Every structure is written in structure tokens, then in C-alpha cells.
Structure 1
């Protein structure tokens, strides 16, 4: 009954609007009619109120889109979104959903009633009133959406210190771990060192210690950075800053003002170092406490080998051979993991062949434990399933410690290593697949960035040794002085030259390497000049990279490089 009365009242109001409001205006009607003025006004402004709501919703959607862009950028930078921003976005979604339902109802309200004779004034009144209420909410959201910033930086405490994949807490490591954790808690100790031969598991242990330190809340932040023999301060600062969620406004080393807290002025801070040499830690780095990391026991080595190789090693026909191979790895985790992964799911004759190879190291210049490492890693290399994968592995060995997949893509395309690819997208997909396969074989590891990869220094040594022997590659790196170039016979055979961060005194007037395909030179000496005819005669050269060189102009002999596919000039200084 009440609904009928309201409909009749709205019909009367509608006629009043048509015959009274239009001639004399809504303000006069509101004064004259009092109690029903509000309803009359709502019905009178029905269309304009609905149109106004639509306009304000569109404005709000534009504001929301701008805020979402800011949020997306913040999330890409690893920042946390402010709670009021999240609440605002939720409110925006809710009001937009409500407006969609409103306009669906409003479309149905256009139908007339009483055999099509009269508009549905009841619906018009309700919708007009609702539109006014929603516009107020929308206006407030527009005003509240003027955020100066939507996020805040947080320390990604987990980064680099998630549980180490495949890590096993061996008894031989637990004692060392407990002692180092005790040193963390000792306020008088600020510098701690861990030493052991390459491939023994120092880096893995440090990562696990970092995770445990955070888990036990010994420190607010834990950061890990790689320092090579020729350290790049900007790169180290960048690694530290990324893991602390910092951004630089200046590019200079001094302007970045990021370093390692040390000494009495930074009580509570600790430095944990890893090196192959005890003397480096004790004498050069002043480590107050040092701990040795040795090889695994026979049982620990076998347990790790079984875990990596799979259940097939328990097969009676295979077990004795598997035990022999595990022993040949000499308790070195890097050797155990790579060999076991390489032989996983292989046939028995492949296991027996591998056992024979490991017992006959083929490097004439390597003895003792290094010969064991070399032979085990070389076996993993020969187990790679394709020449394309082997060539990619050797190329990775010539690159930086924390290399970029994009650089590998450029070099790989330039050298023509990628088979049956016809577009850049296909080549990129292939390179990512190759890197993933090498990581699965434990010959590569994750890099410091999502687009990077790394290589254990022991694995790199083996890769360069294989490349030097099989492909006549000449490598000088890490601040070593290039006193003289190889003899003519060596250069005639050379297919790749990598001179990374070495001290180059002088370049020959002309580089005579008729088979050279890959040439990388990184030198920070601005006085080093490249002779005009240096590249003349390098007809086979396909990939050329200059890093941190100084040029007034490019040497004219570049025009003779008819086979060149990739030219990379990185951090080059152009002299005017």
C-alpha cells in the first residue's frame, strides 16, 4: 500500500514539475511546497544528476589509473605500497562496481508505466537521490587520490638468503656453523674469515649463515656482495644498495656514500669474509677469527651424490661404479654435484665410461686435488647434450663473474652459436633455455639480478682451460699485466681473445689473427691508443667488444671487418 501511495505521490510530483517547476523554477517551488520540495527537486534533476555521476566516475577512473601506474612502478622496484593507498584503491573499485549496477538499473528506469502513459517517477526519484549521494563519495575519493607518493622502500631481507636449494646440513659443516654463529654474538669480534680450497662450498655456507642470522634476528640486515681480484667499486656499491632497497642520486663512487660499516663506530656490525687463502684473511683483511672449511667425509659425499644422481645409484648393477665415481670427486661439493647431475638417468655403460675418464685425468699440467676437480668438471662438460650447449658454456667462461644474459645473447648471435633461429625473439628464448640447462647441470648459478647468471670460479677455470686447449682461446684477466703478446704461431691458431681488466701496456700495430672470431678488451688506461691498422686482416672476426676504452674516433681498419656481426662499445670515453 505504501509503495502505491509513493508512486501516486511521485506521479503528482511529476505533473507539478511539468506544469509548475518549469515555469517558475525549482527554488520557488522548494519555498512554496516545503515537505515535498526535496522529492520534486530530485525528480526534476534526475537526468542531470545521473549524467553528473557518470562524469565524476570517469574522472575518478582517470585518477585511479594514474595511481595504479605509480603503484606498478613501485612494485617493480620492490617497494611496499602504503596501506592508505591500498584502502583507497579498494574503495575506488567498490564505488565503480556500485556505479555499474546503478547505471544498469537506471537504463531499466527509462521504461514508462501505466500502459506507457507516464514516466516511472518513483524510480527517477530513488535513482536521482542515490546519484547525489554517490557523487559526494566520488568527489571525496578524487580529492583523497592526490598522493605525493604511494610506497616506501623496505629492506628485502630475504633477497639472497632464502633457504639454499639443495643445501644439506652436514655434520662436518655444523660445527663450523655453530662457531661462526657464536662469533656473530661476540661483541668484541667484528671481522670473521672462512677459508678453503675452491669448490669446497664456502659461498653456500655463507649464504646459509646469512639466512640463519636473519632467522635468529642477530642483525637487522644481511647483505652479500662478490669482490673479485679486480674489484669494481660501483658494482659492489650497487649490489649492496639493491639488497638494502637504496637508490642513488649520484653516479660517482664518493657521491654514492655506500660502504661497509667497520670498527668501533659501528658496534653490532660484522664482516664475514671468504677466501681460498688463510693469509689473505689474517694478514691483508685483519680477520680476528678464521675458520677452515674442508672436504666432505666419505659418507657425506655419498649422501650428496645419491641426492643429486637419483635412486638409480642404488641399483646393484650400478652401485659399485657409482661409489667409485663419488670417491673420485674427493669430497668436493662442486665436483660431486656437477658429476652426479651429469650422470643422472644415464645408462650403465655411460657410468662405467665416466668412471674410467675420472681415473685418467687428461690435463698434463694439473696435479693433485686440482686434477680431481678438473677431471670431474670436464666430465660434466662432455656430458652436455649438444655442441650448442657446450659452445655456450665455454663462451660464458669468457664473460664477467656476474654476467648478463643480454650480453650472452649479443655474443651468441654474433658468433653464430645459436642454431635454427631466425628472429631476435627466437634467439632470446634459445639463450634463456641454454642458460637454464647449464644451471640445471650446475655449471652456472643464479646471478645478482634476474637477468644475470654467474659461474663458480673453479668452474670458470676449467671452462677457460678447455677453451684454450680445444679452441685456442687466449685469456688474460684480473689486473694481470700483459707483458707481451703470444708468438706468431699461437696467434695464427687463436679463435678468441679475452682481455678483461688486465694491464695492457701496448697494442701491436696490426693484430695478425686470421682465425680470430671473438675479441673482448677491457682496459681503464685512457692513454692506451688503438693503432689505425690494428684490425686490418681480421677477416674472420664476428664479435668485437671494447669496454672502458678511450677513442677520439674509431680506427679506420674497422672497415676491413667484413664478417663482423656484433660490435659492443661499453662505457667508452669519446675524446673531443
Structure 2
């Protein structure tokens, strides 16, 4: 099927989806299909606490700083996947429920594609402030500066910060004892929290016991009991995760329900082989996560997964929309009905969720509506798609800005993102 035929099919699929949505509006779905989280609006992690004891210790350190009047800026620091965002999610919930310390909690996910204007817009959205008519960053900062002060004592949480910046330039009031406000940021970079003059809180890794408990909890399916010899190998696999929570959960998810000693031994050998000559943390994590990707085995399922990396970081990927793209691009072959094709798509997504490569919202009103891809998983997927299959993903740039030399005859998928809209897949 050529590109024009696929484009035509994509249009048909989109029209069908719109028809279904129209029928739902006219039918019995009077309450709608999506309800935003009423607290801070951030995506709720589906993987829960990264080991109750370690999580409690890390959370207590952050909480004590928040309750300390002498500390105004807090930097939660740790390698990717250590659980920084999950800790802050639990802190956020506690702050919302205990309103006597602060009047409001403002949560903004910053991510890698950082610039002053984008951060201003993200904060403005959280504050229900429209900055669209202001293009100059200085004027936007002036407008923004007035809003948080109207909320009296607040905690501003900037999650996943990659670069330091001037609070004044963005329009964030300086947190002081007089205004009772606090700034909390999470970052992988020690340079960032130092330049932002934050009190450092380094997130500690799990103990070996916590690592094993978490791994076994995630690897067991339907309460299966691992045979003693299998459990011995599984324990060695858990140790290879180096007490790194996200790697533990992802690798355990890829081995969920497996009770065959040959498969466990093979998994251990593959994991050791993939990381034995790697010393830097980022590369080790990449290989650990790639192990879970390789465990998918089915090349088609792998391609379905990689397609999700075309979406921007921290993006809500709506299931119906994504499956529609899969159908339009010929990834789901023609079946007896459009309903059967969508059923297959949902089954594929559920498999990717069960192996911890995609995440599903915990909010019962959002379940089944969209999925998200953890930023570490997305980084791993992007590294894979830099070679074969080759994708080109350009964030915040138009098609005409992409240099000619960046194009390759081997590129299979292209995604250009402008103002959170996908302009080409």
C-alpha cells in the first residue's frame, strides 16, 4: 500500500472515530469519557511506591524540609528511574489533604524540551491564566508574577528539570519566610539544584532486601509460587538491577508469570551480557530497559511499542487515536471489521502495559482511555529508533527548519511536534 493510500485510509479511520465519538455523545455516555484529575493535574504513576521502606525514608526527608521554615528551595536529586516523581506525587497528595501548612500546590512537569516561554505557559495553564496574547517573555513574566501571590502560601513543584533558570525571568516570586512559599524541583543533574541554590535531598536506592521483595512482587502473576531453583535464579536477576527501582519493575514485568528455569537462566545470561562492559549509569539503565523490550520477542509487538515514541514526552496517548494510526499505517492488517481491528489494538496495548513498557492511569475515570510512556522508556525507544527502524522526531520545530543533512533515506517514521500537536507521523 503506497503512502497516498495509507493517508486515505487514515482519513477514513479518523472519520470513523469521530462518528463513534458522536454516537457516544448522543448515547448513554452523558458523563463523558474523560475526567481530569481534580488535584494537581499531573499523571499519577501506576507503579506505586518504589519499595515501601525506601520510599518512606525518602518521602520523610522531603517532608521535613517542607516543614522547615529555614528551607525555601528543595532539590530532589537522583538518577533517572529512582522514584523522584513518585515521591513527589505522594508528597503532593499529602499537601493537598493537609491544608493548614499551605494554601495551594502547583505541579508542573518540565521535561527535557525546556525553554523559558514553555515553562511560563505550563505554569500559566496550572494557574488558569491565559498568556497567549503575550509573546514577549518579560511581559509574560510580569503577568505571571502576580498570579501565585494571590494564592498566598503555595508549594511550586517543578518535576523533571534539566536546566537551571532565573526565577525572576520566568515570573516566579522568590519563596521567602514572609510569603510562606516553597519551591521543590526534581532533577537528575546535581549542577541544576546547585545553581538553583536548593537544599539537596538525594533519593537513596533500595536495599538488597527491598530490591528482592519488589522484584518478586512484580514478577509473580496470579500468586504463582516460583520453584526453589527458579527463585534462586530470579534472585540473581533481581541483583543485576542494581537496586534501581524502575529497572526492577520493568525487568520483573517482562518475566511476569514465567516459572521455567531455562527461561530464567537465559534471561540472567542476557542481562549480564548486555551490561558487563558498561560503567556509566545511564547506559546501564538503557541496556536494562532494552532487555525488557527484547523480551517482547514478537517483532510486530516491538514495532507497535516503538510507534509510541513518536508522541512527545509526558504526552497522554489516547488509545483510540493511537490504534487508529496503527490501522492507517498498516500495522494492524485488515480484519473482518473495524471493531475487530480496534479490539486487537487494545489487546496489544494491554500487553505492553502488563510488561511495564507503557503505563495506564490509576484514576478509575481515566482507565482505558489513554496510556503514557515513562521518559526513561521513551529515551530507550528513541535510541533504538535512531538505527533500525529509523524514526525522526523533532520537537517544537516546523518541517522547514529541519536541516537537509538530518534526513536519511532509511527514515521510516517522522514526527514533527508544534505546540503539543503532531503535524506528521
Matches within 5 A, 1:79-158: 156-157=38-39
The 5 Å alignment of 1:38-437 reads 156-157=38-39, 160=42, 165-167=47-49, 170-217=52-99, 218-231=101-114, 246=128, 254=140, 257=144, 262-264=173-175, 267-283=179-195, 285-287=196-198, 289-310=199-220, 312=224, 314-346=226-258, 347-361=260-274, 366-384=278-296, 386-403=298-315, 404-405=317-318, 408-421=322-335, 425-437=339-351
CA distance in 2, matches of 1:353, 1:379: 12
SS at match of 2:404: coil
Identify the residue that residue 56 of structure 1 maps to in structure 2.
none
**Alignment partner, residue 61 of structure 1:** none
Shift of 1:239: 6.2
Q: What is aligned with 1:82?
A: none
How much has 1:505 moved relative to structure 2? 5.9
**Aligned mates of 2:182, 2:354 — CA distance in 1:** 34
Q: Separation in 2 of the partners of 1:326 and 1:546?
A: 39
Alpha carbons of 1:242 and 1:361: their partners in 2 closer, same or farther (altered >3 Å)? same
Question: Retained in 2: the 8 A contact 1:522–1:546?
Answer: yes
More helix by share: 1
Structure 2 residue 383 is matched with structure 1 residue 465: yes
TM-score, structure 1 as length reference: 0.53
Per the TM alignment, residue 275 of structure 1 is displaced from its structure 2 partner at its CA by 0.6
Shift of 1:434: 2.9
Q: Deviations over 1:275-298 (max 9, x none)?
A: 101111111x332x1111132111
Residues 445-504 of structure 1, C-alpha deviations (whole Å, 9 max, x = no match): 247994543322222222122233432x2xxxxxxxxxxxxxxxxxxxxxx322333698
Instruction: State the distance in 1 between where 2:122 and 2:276 align.
Output: 37
- From the CA coordinates, give the structure whose radius of gyration is larger: 1
The offset of 1:303, in angstroms, is 0.9
Q: CA deviation at 1:158?
A: 7.4
**Paired residue total:** 356
In structure 2, do the counterparts of structure 1 residues 239 and 360 end up closer, same or farther at CA, with 3 Å as the change threshold?
same
Offset, 1:418: 1.7
> For 2:331 and 2:374, how far apart are their aligned partners in 1?
23
Could you tell me whether the CA contact under 8 Å between 1:164 and 1:208 is conserved in 2? no
Separation in 1, partners of 2:233, 2:201? 34
CA distance in 1, matches of 2:250, 2:34: 35
CA distance in 2 between partners of 1:326 and 1:335 (Å): 9
Unaligned runs of 5+ in 2: 1-25, 149-155, 157-171
Measured on the aligned residues, the alpha-carbon RMSD in Å equals: 4.1
How far apart, in 1, do the equivalents of 2:92 and 2:75 lie?
14
Q: Tell me if structure 1 keeps the 8 A contact 2:85–2:186.
A: yes
- Please state how far the C-alpha of 1:306 moved relative to its aligned partner: 1.2
1:443 aligns with 2:357: yes
Question: Matched residues in 2 for 1:333 and 1:273: separation?
Answer: 20
Deviation at 1:322, TM superposition (A): 0.6
The 8 Å contact of residues 219 and 255 in structure 2, kept in 1 or not, is answered as yes
Partner of 1:360, secondary structure, is helix
CA contact (8 A) 2:49 2:55 kept: no
CA-CA distance at 1:247 after TM superposition: 7.7
TM-score normalised by structure 2 residue count: 0.69
Q: Considering Cα pairs closer than 8 Å and 6+ residues apart, tell me whether 1 or 2 has the greater RCO.
A: 2
- The one-character-per-residue Cα deviations of 1:252-299 (angstroms, maximum 9, x if unpaired) are 57499567653258823322111101111111x332x11111321111
Instruction: Say whether 1:453 aligns with 2:371.
Output: yes
Alpha-carbon distance change, 437 to 73 in structure 1, aligned in 2, over 3 angstroms: same
Q: Residue 336 of structure 1: CA displacement?
A: 0.5
CA gap 1:314/1:520 in 2 versus in 1, 3 angstroms: closer
Q: Identify if the C-alpha distance between structure 1 residues 165 and 500 changes in structure 2 by more than 3 Å, giving closer, same or farther.
A: closer
Q: Distance in 2 between matches of 1:187 and 1:194?
A: 18
1:517 aligned to 412, 417, 423, which one?
Answer: 412
| Structure 1 pair 313–252 and aligned structure 2 pair: CA distance change class (3 A) | farther
Paired position in structure 1 for 2:16: none
Whole-Å separation in 2 of the counterparts to 1:340 and 1:76: 32
Q: Give the match's secondary structure for 2:54.
A: helix
1:186-213 deviation per Cα after TM superposition (whole angstroms, max 9, x unaligned):
2343221111111211111111221222
Q: What whole-Å deviation, never above 9, does each CA across 1:369-424 have from its counterpart, x for those lacking one? A: 34432332122112226433211211112321133335534542343212344665
- The answer to whether the aligner puts 1:508 opposite 2:404 as a matched pair is yes
